[in-house]
Amino acid sequence: MRPIEFEILLSLAGGARHGYAIILDIEARAGDGATLETGTLYRALQRLAEQGHVTEARTPPGEDDRRRYHAITPAGRAAAAAEARRMAALVDGARAARLLPEAP
Amino acid sequence: MSGTAWWARAYDVALRAFPAHFRARWGDEMRLTLADRVAAARDRDGRLPLRLVARELASALAGGARERLHERLRHPATRPPMPRLQDVRYALRLLLRSPGFTLLTVLVLAGGIGLSTFTFSFLYTAMLRPVPLDEGARIVRVDPVVDGRLTGTDLADVAALAASVRSVRQLGAFTGRALVVGRDGDRRAIDGTVADPVLFAVARTPALLGRPLVPADAEPGAEPVLVLSYRIWQAAFGGDPGVVGRRVPLNGAETRVVGVMPEGFGFPVASEAWLPLPADAPGRATAGLASVRLVGRLAPGASHATAAAEVATVLRRAQAARDTSARAGVVDAAVETLPSAQIGEERALVFALLNLVAGLILLLALVNVTNLLLARADERVRETAVRLALGATAGRLVVQGMWETVLLCLAGGVVGTAGAAWGLEGITRWTQANIPDNLAFWWVWRLDHVTLLGAGAFVTVAIASLGAVAALRTRRLDVRAAMQDGGARGGARRAGRLSRALVAVQVTTVTVLMFFGVMAGVVAHRVVTIDPGFDPARLLQGGVLPPDARYPTAAARAGLYRDVRARVAEQGALGDVLLRRPLGEARTARGRLARRGAARTPELLPTAHVEASLGDLRTIGVEVLEGRALGAADDASRAPVAVVSRALARRHWGGRSPVGEQLRLAGAGAGDTATYRTVVGVVSDVPHGNPLARDRSADAIYVPLLQGDHDYAAVLARWRTTETAARLAMVQAFGAADPLLVPDGVQPFAESLRKMGLIAVSVTRLFTACFAFALVLALVGTYGLMSRAIGARTREIGLRRALGATDGRVARLILLQGGRQLVVGTLLAAPALGALGLLLRHYVPVSATLTVAAAVLVSASIVGLVLAASWVPTRRALRLTPRDALWTG
């Protein structure tokens, strides 16, 4: 799984969002100065949709109905969890190798 | 809102990089997201986030391209469909169903491809094809270049060149020579070549009978020998195989025939017989007297440039060793293949310009065919839309359409190539019939692999360009619109844009072509009406070539000239006799042409044409104005004299008389070049120099023929009764002077002028036909394009008229649309016309006024023609009632 795809799934794990909200969430998580281009986001969304990890959600009442909301599917949640575990194992390995300090 | 923001429009364009289905799914949301980001940044910073916009645009373009690639890899089905045999059959069926369209398209393509192929092949054979001998590409001609002009090689320099030059091997000299074969009543004048026998080693061509010349034939004391050409062997000896070994009288000396060369052999130039150039001739030669040409084989590893540099060095060394007054100027050298050297210095221009013309004609043809194909596509738009709607992929339809284009182009290519082959063979027949004496032996035009390769390249260009347009059109078809109104709007806007672009291209192309055609016509007119500077009527011309064996000294040659003049003058059928030997131009560079003044250093004179003469200068329209004429008494025993033209006298001496002044002619081939001559007269002006050149002038100096040493003189005499009687009289006069002497190349002077311009006139006629074809293509094409463009607006016209627009307003609207394309086309053509005009003026004698006038006239004519072509369909559109227009549109 590509980092951008994991980022999107992570963002959607908290609830359905539209594209701009996903960008804001990812940029906020990544920290100051990090940017994500619109084209990159939607190419990744296209891949995730093809893999069945993301699906279109109903636009919440009161929101701009031109916006399309995206939600994570159970398969997407499972894939994101697997990726998170893989990453956690990597972090554990890094700690064991003293590349990172011990967890508090 | 005043309209969409520029960045949003730019993003729309950038989104087109993504595949259509991707855009359909995500496009709106992507626009919305970008708008959110821009609005947020604007709120935050108070200005448009240009960096964000730039990054987003770049990301969309790159991401779109990657998405397309990704899609290709994921879905092999979207790769271009492979051609199928059934597509070819389908395309063939469609073409046969509309024979009129097919025939017209094939003919237009055949014309464009045929003309391009013909021009390319003609020029390739004339200028680039290596001579058809073993390793012919390495055979080169070596020419000195003095003051930027190609000249012959001084025979006196040949020994030094042959001994020192390493980059050209087997360097041999040759020169033309008029020969008389036979004796008494059975004499025949032939054009021979005196050649270093090494040239037969260069040619590597075995003799048909006997042997070619060998170095031993040129040694002092060797038996005089002769090698015959196939043509003269057939004509003079009836093809007798026993001729080898026989002794024949040649210029009065018994000469043994040692061989006959094969048919078509004419190396280094077309010739009827070859004699050996004596090995010791260069060593004995006086500098400045005899000129020869040099041919050899480029040594392995040597290039034309290195060889030229080496030759120039040797030539400069040889010049430096001689009397500086005899030769001066900037000496350089040119080493070229035989075909390049034959065409001369303007070959690059000729090759580029003529191929450009052919290319433009092909472009015109392609524009026309594009229009025909677009019109056909318009007719079939509903069918195409139905097929797309039923699930046919655009790629499948493109491939099917492509087959139609391929078949049309192949048919056009075959017909065009056949036409080109017919034209090339016609050219060969024409040249062999009209200019056999000057024909280079490699000038045989025919259908060969180069012609086929050229034709293949032009067909490929045609397929690629027509196919691209057709594919673009199919891919951009708006299915929904096509289904709704049967093609009136299905892609009509885009097709209209394409049509307008085609009109602009057509206007540019035809303007450039017509300008070139008009200028070629002007030059051809100049060539046809060559002004020799005097009345050439009833003037007969022949040449005196004193054979070396019987006239070995300058005095003997001068005696012969004097005798010939006297004998010709005795003939009742001839009058106004003049022997002349133009000595070229003497220029002021380095004191070659100078006047002895009061000061010690000689004063330089302006450039002047120098001519040695014996007899009546009035024959060439030159009258004595002051002092005296040159006479037969002005020979080597008298003080050197000269007469000058009025133009030269005025230019240099102003109001004073030049009679009694002294001048020097160093470097003009006038024999004793260091001697000062006394001016004894002033004569009237006639233009001198190459009649086809742009730098003719009346500045002339005439010197007595008998006061120099000349290997040739032309005899001019005016006939009193008939040309036949005059020809006979000239032959008799020569015979009376020397029974073994015949006049060389007897012909009316006007005939020699005609021959001078014959090739130019013929080539111009040929290209006039091409221009006529181009003009017809342009006219028909412009009419078709305008007709189509206006036809596409029929519904709009009907609507406007239904809403109350007057005919005048509608006509103005349509013509204004045509006018825009005219302006664009004319503006595009303007720089091309300027460049072409400057280039032509550099090489041919046309004035700036004439060039500008031609450019304006051509542009105005094309504007008129296009407006006329627009008017006819406009009137047709206006004749329809609004109801009909809306119905048929």
Domain residue extents for chain A: 3-96
Clarify whether residues B292 and B250 are in a common domain.
yes
Question: 10 Å Cβ neighbour count for B585?
Answer: 20
On whether residue B1 sits in a domain, the answer given is no
**Bigger pLDDT: B1 vs B323:** B323
- CA–CA separation, B440 and B425 (whole Å): 16
Nearest-neighbour CA in chain B from A98: distance (Å): 38
pLDDT of B488 higher than 60:
no
Whole-angstrom Cα Rg for chain B: 36
**B602 and B727 fall within a common domain:** yes
A41, two tokens = 């986001």
User: How close B2 gets to chain A, by Cα (Å)?
Assistant: 22
Shared domain for B476 and B500, answered yes or no, is no
Mean pLDDT computed over B44-51: 86
Residues of B in contact with A41 (CB under 8 A): 33
Residue-by-residue DSSP string for B618-654: GGGT--EEEE----TT-STTSPPEEEEEHHHHHHHHT
Fold of A3-96: Arc Repressor Mutant, subunit A (1.10.10)
Predicted local confidence at residue B680, as pLDDT: 94
Average pLDDT of span A75-92:
92
| pLDDT interval class at A6 (50, 70, 90) | very high
B312 shares a domain with B208 = yes
Q: Is the pLDDT of residue B577 over 70?
A: yes
Nearest CB to A39; choose among B28, B36, B59: B59
- The pLDDT of residue B717 is 93
Q: What is the arithmetic mean of pLDDT over B261-277?
A: 86
pLDDT tens profile B61-118: 999 988 888 877 776 555 555 567 788 888 888 888 888 888 988 998 998 899 889 9
In this structure, the answer to whether residues B93 and B198 fall within a common structural domain is no
Interface of chain B toward chain A, CB-CB under 8 angstroms: 22, 25-26, 28-30, 32-34, 36-37, 52, 55-56, 59-60, 62-64, 66-67
Picking from B7, B29, B30, B43 by the largest number of A CB atoms within 10 A of its own CB, the best residue to mutate is: B29
Mean pLDDT of chain B: 81
Please write the tens of the pLDDT for every residue from B296-325: 998 888 888 899 999 999 888 887 776 554
Whether B466 and B373 have beta carbons less than 8 Å apart is answered as: yes
- For residue B589, what pLDDT is reported? 37
Q: What span, in angstroms and rounded, lies between the C-alpha atoms of B763 and B768?
A: 9
Q: Which tops the pLDDT comparison, B682 or B185?
A: B682
Q: Is the pLDDT of residue B176 over 70?
A: yes
Question: Crossing angle of helices B20-45/B50-74, nearest 10°?
Answer: 160
Highest mean pLDDT among B8-12, B184-188, B439-443: B8-12
Cβ pair B63:A37 closer than 8 A? yes
Mean pLDDT of B629-653: 88
pLDDT digits (tens, 9 = 90+) for B200-228: 988 888 899 999 999 999 998 889 999 99
Q: Using CB atoms, which residue from B25, B37, B60 is nearest to A20? A: B37
- Nearest CA-CA distance, residue A51 and chain B, Å: 13
Rounded Cα distance between B91 and B152, Å, is 61
Task: Verify whether the Cβ–Cβ distance B63 to A43 is below 8 Å.
Answer: yes
Average pLDDT over chain A reads: 88
Q: Would residue B337 count as lying in a domain?
A: no
Whether residue B857 is predicted with pLDDT greater than 70 in this model: the reply is: yes
Mean pLDDT of A57-83: 88
Backbone angles phi, psi at B623, to 5 degrees: -105, 150
Chain A residue numbers with beta carbons less than 8 Å from the beta carbon of B62 are 39
Of the spans B175-184, B524-533, B768-777, which averages the highest pLDDT? B768-777
Q: How far apart are CA B538 and CA B6, in angstroms?
A: 81
pLDDT reported for residue B628 = 92
Residues recorded for chain A:
104
Quick one: pLDDT at residue B668? 42
Q: Do B29 and A35 touch (CB under 8 A)?
A: no
A40/B contact by beta carbon, under 8 A = yes
Residue B489's pLDDT is 47
- The string over A1-37, giving b where at least 16 C-beta atoms fall within 10 Å of a residue's C-beta and e elsewhere, is beebbbbbbbbbeeebbbbbbbbbbbbeeeeeeeebb
Q: Are residues B318 and B477 in contact, defined by beta-carbon separation less than 8 angstroms?
A: no
Residue B94 one-letter amino acid: L
Q: Do A46 and B26 touch (CB under 8 A)?
A: yes
pLDDT at B36 over 80: yes
Whether A23 sits inside 8 A of B37 (CB atoms) is yes
Mean pLDDT of B677-705: 80
Q: Residue A18: its chain B contacts at CB < 8 A? A: 29, 33
User: How far apart (Å, rounded) are the C-alpha atoms in residues B659 and B537?
Assistant: 32
pLDDT in tens, B342-374: 776 666 777 777 788 888 888 888 888 888 887
Same domain, B365 and B434: yes
Q: Tens digit of pLDDT for each residue in B767-801? A: 777 778 877 877 777 777 777 777 777 777 778 87
User: For the purposes of burial, counting CB atoms within 10 Å of the CB of B213, is it exposed (0-12), middle (13-18) or buried (19 or more)?
Assistant: buried
Length of chain B counted residue by residue:
889
- Average pLDDT (B177-181) is 73
Average pLDDT over residues B507-519: 85
Q: Is A43 on the interface with B (CB under 8 A)?
A: yes
Quote the Cα angle for B128-B438-B543, to 5°: 145
Residue B157 scores a pLDDT above 80? yes
Contact A20 B32 (CB under 8 A): yes
Mutate to test the interface with B, among A4, A20, A22, A38 (most CBs of B within 10 A): A38
Q: How confident is the model at residue A83 (pLDDT cuts 50, 70, 90)?
A: very high
CB-closest option in B25, B36, B59 to A37? B59
Q: Given an 8 Å threshold on Cβ–Cβ distance, is B29 in contact with A42?
A: yes
Using CA coordinates, name the residue in chain B closest to A41.
B30
> With an 8 Å Cβ cutoff, are B33 and A41 in contact?
yes
What count of other Cβ atoms lies within 10 Å of the Cβ of residue A42?
Answer: 24
Determine which of A53-67, B513-527, B564-578, B586-600 has the lowest per-residue pLDDT on average. B586-600
How many pairs of residues across A and B have Cβ atoms under 8 Å apart? 53
Q: Which residues in chain B have their CB less than 8 angstroms from residue A43's CB?
A: 63, 66-67
CA distance A103 to chain B (A): 37
Q: What residues in B contact A68, CB-CB < 8 Å?
A: 29
Q: What are phi and psi of B181, to 5 degrees?
A: -105, 140
Kindly tell me if the per-residue pLDDT of B700 is higher than 70.
Answer: yes
In a domain, residue B527? The reply is yes
Cβ of B28 within 8 Å of Cβ of A66? The answer is yes
B contacts of A46 (beta carbons < 8 Å): 22, 25-26, 67
Q: Any CB–CB contact under 8 A between A48 and chain B?
A: no
Residue B78 C-alpha, separation from nearest chain A C-alpha, in angstroms: 18
Whether B139 maps to a domain, the answer reads no
Over residues B132-149, the pLDDT tens digits come to 888 888 899 998 887 677
Partner B contacted by A35 (CB < 8 A): yes
Output the pLDDT for position B409: 93
Confidence of residue B474 (pLDDT cuts 50, 70, 90): low
Q: Structural domain of residue B658, as residue ranges?
A: 551-739
Based on the fold, state whether residues B762 and B775 are members of the same structural domain: yes
pLDDT at B888 over 60: no
Least confident of A24-38, A75-89, B155-169, B837-851: B837-851
More confident position, B350 or B231? B231
**Mean pLDDT to the nearest integer, B829-841:** 85
Q: How confident is the model at residue B851 (pLDDT cuts 50, 70, 90)?
A: confident
Cβ B63–A39 below 8 Å, yes or no?
Answer: yes
Minimum distance, in Å, between the CA of residue B393 and any CA atom of chain A: 22
**pLDDT for the residue numbered B456:** 93
Q: Please give the Cα distance from B447 to B686 (Å, whole number).
A: 47
Contacts of A19 in chain B (CB under 8 A): 29-30, 32-33
To the nearest whole Å, the CA of B301 is away from the closest chain A CA by 58
Q: Do B28 and A20 touch (CB under 8 A)?
A: no
What is the number of domains present in chain B?
Answer: 5
* B671 & B571 share domain: yes
Contact A46 B64 (CB under 8 A): no
Nearest C-alpha in B relative to A21: B33
Q: Which DSSP string do the residues of B44-98 spell out, in sequence order?
A: HHSS--HHHHHHHHHHHHHHHHHHHHHHHHH-GGGSPPPP-HHHHHHHHHHHHH-
Query: With 90 as the cut, is the pLDDT of residue A76 above it?
Result: yes
Residue B241 placed within a domain: yes
Of residues B535 and B588, more confidently modeled: B535
HEC readout, A23-86: HHHHHHHHCCCCCCCHHHHHHHHHHHHHHCCEEEECCCCCCCCCCCEEEECHHHHHHHHHHHHH
Q: How far is B69 from chain A (nearest CA, A)?
A: 13
**For the complex shown, is ipTM > 0.90?**
yes
State the pLDDT at residue B761.
73
* C-beta atoms of B25 and A46 within 8 A: yes
Q: Is residue A45 less than 8 Å (CB to CB) from chain B? A: yes
Min Cα separation A27/chain B (Å) = 12
Distance CA B177, CA B173 (A): 13
Task: Tell which wins on pLDDT, B603 or A1.
Answer: A1
Co-location of B176 and B195 in the same domain: yes
